[in-house]
Amino acid sequence: MTVRRVVKTDIVQPDPGGSKGVQMLAAMKQDLHDRLWNAQERWFALRAEGATKHDLKLRGLREHGDPNHYIRNLLFTGATKRSVEETLKSFVEFAHEKFGAQRLEDLGKQEFKAFIEDGVARGLAASTLEARCSHLSKLGALIGRSEQYFALARRTAGRIRELGRTAALDGPQRVTPSPQIVARAIDILRSWDERHSARTGQPRAYHLAARLQIETAGRSVSVTDRLTTGCLKEGTSIELIGKGGRLVQAPVSADLYAAIALYLGKAGDPLAARRGYQLAWRRAVQAAGGRAAGSHGLRRLSTREFYRLRYARRVEGGEAPGDARRTAREEAVERLGHSRNRSDQAACYLDPAA
C-alpha cells in the first residue's frame, strides 16, 4: 500500500472550521448515530421474532453465497455499536475536514482510501487498520452502498495483512501469560477479593471470573456481566452468553461450579463487573511478575491448552499427526464460538506450529 499524503491543494474546504461547517459536522455525526442506533434496533426486532445470527448467516449463504448479506446492516451488541461509532465518527470528521464532505452519502472511495492511508502514515497497528476496514464496511451497508464498501474493505484489509506479514506495519501485540503466571495472578486476585470484602463488607469474585475464563476460554463479558444464576445448568455445566448472544454450554470443574453457585446465591447477579475485573486482572498479572496483559490472554492460553490435550489424545488413539493437528485445531476454534474452518482465528489464538 502506498501512503499518499493529502495536501491542501487537493482539498475542497467549504470553511469546515466556521460555524456552518461545525453545524454540518454535528449533523453528520448525529445522522451516523441515528443509523447505528437503528441498526441495533433492527437486530433486537429480529431477535424478538426468533431470529439468530447463525440463521441469518446460513440464509445469506443459501440465497446469495455470502454469509454476511443479511447482517451487514445490523449491530448485535452495545459494545460493538460503541466501537463502530467511535471509528466512524473519526472517519466523518476526517472526511469533512480534508474533503469538505457534508453528508454521509458523500463519503466514497476517495475518503475511504485516504482515511486508511492516514492511519498507515500515523503508524497504527495492522489490527487497528483492519478494524477500521471492517467498521467502514458497516457504514456502506447503512448508506446503501454495501457492495462498494465491502469490496473496498476486503481489498484494503488484504493489503494491510500483507504489510503486516512483511513487517511494514506493526502486528497485534498478543501477550499470553504462562500457566505459572496465571496461577499466581489468580491467587493474588483471590487475596484482593478477600481484602476488599473485609474492608467494604461487599463480596467480590474477580478470581472466580478468571478461573472460569481459563477453564472455558470464554470472553471476559461472558464470565462477568452476563454470568447469572440462570447460567448454572445441570451437573457442572455453565451456559455462557457469547458474541451476538450465542449460547454455549461449557463444562467446568466441580469445585469451580460449586464456588460460583455459592457466590451467586449469596451476592446475587452478576458474577462481577467486567471493567473492574479487566483492570484488576492486568494489575494481578504484573504483581505476579508477568507482562501487563488483558484478560483475553486467558482465552488464548485456555485455547492453546485445549488444543494440546486434544491433539495428544488423538495421536494416542492412533490418528495420524497431520489429521490430529487439523481436527484439534478445528475443535479449538469451534470452542471459541467461531466456525471450525476459521483459519484467521486459529492464527490469532494458537501457536504458529499448531
What are the structural domain ranges in the chain? 8-165, 179-294, 298-349
Compute the average pLDDT of residues 180-207: 96
Q: Coil, strand, or helix at residue 95?
A: helix
Compute the average pLDDT of residues 202-225: 96
Per-residue pLDDT band for 11 (boundaries 50, 70, 90) equals: very low
Helices 109-121 & 78-99, crossing angle to 10 degrees? Answer: 100
**Can you list the positions of beta strands (E) in the chain?**
237-241, 247-251
Provide the CATH topology of domain 179-294: hpI Integrase; Chain A (1.10.443)
The pLDDT, as a whole number, for residue 171 is 55
CA dihedral 196, 258, 236, 227 (to 10 degrees): -30
User: What would the grid cell of residue 236 be?
Assistant: 457442572
pLDDT in tens, 218-273: 999 999 999 999 999 988 999 999 877 788 899 999 999 999 999 999 999 999 99
* Whole-number Cα distances in Å, 91 to 113, 125, 231: 11, 17, 39
In the beta sheet, which residues pair with residue 232? 238
For the chain, the distance separating the N- and C-terminal CA atoms, rounded to the nearest angstrom, is 30
Compute the average pLDDT of residues 132-151: 92
Per-residue pLDDT band for 15 (boundaries 50, 70, 90) equals: low
Average pLDDT value over all residues in the chain = 88
pLDDT in tens, 46-78: 999 999 888 898 898 899 888 888 999 999 888
pTM here? Answer: 0.60
The pLDDT, as a whole number, for residue 173 is 58
Report, in angstroms and rounded to the nearest whole number, the Rg of the chain calculated over CA atoms.
23
pLDDT in tens, 101-137: 999 999 999 999 999 999 888 888 888 888 999 999 9
The residue assigned the cell 447503512 is 142
The pLDDT, as a whole number, for residue 324 is 93
The pLDDT, as a whole number, for residue 3 is 42
- Nearest by Cα to 35 from 99, 103, 109: 103
Per-residue pLDDT band for 352 (boundaries 50, 70, 90) equals: low
pLDDT for 9 beyond 60: no
pLDDT in tens, 294-336: 888 999 999 999 999 999 999 999 999 999 999 999 999 999 8
pLDDT for 100 beyond 80: yes
The residue assigned the cell 482465552 is 299
pLDDT in tens, 19-47: 788 899 999 999 999 999 999 999 999 99
pLDDT for 198 beyond 60: yes
CB 349 within 8 A of CB 304: yes
Per-residue pLDDT band for 84 (boundaries 50, 70, 90) equals: very high
The pLDDT, as a whole number, for residue 125 is 80
The pLDDT, as a whole number, for residue 67 is 86
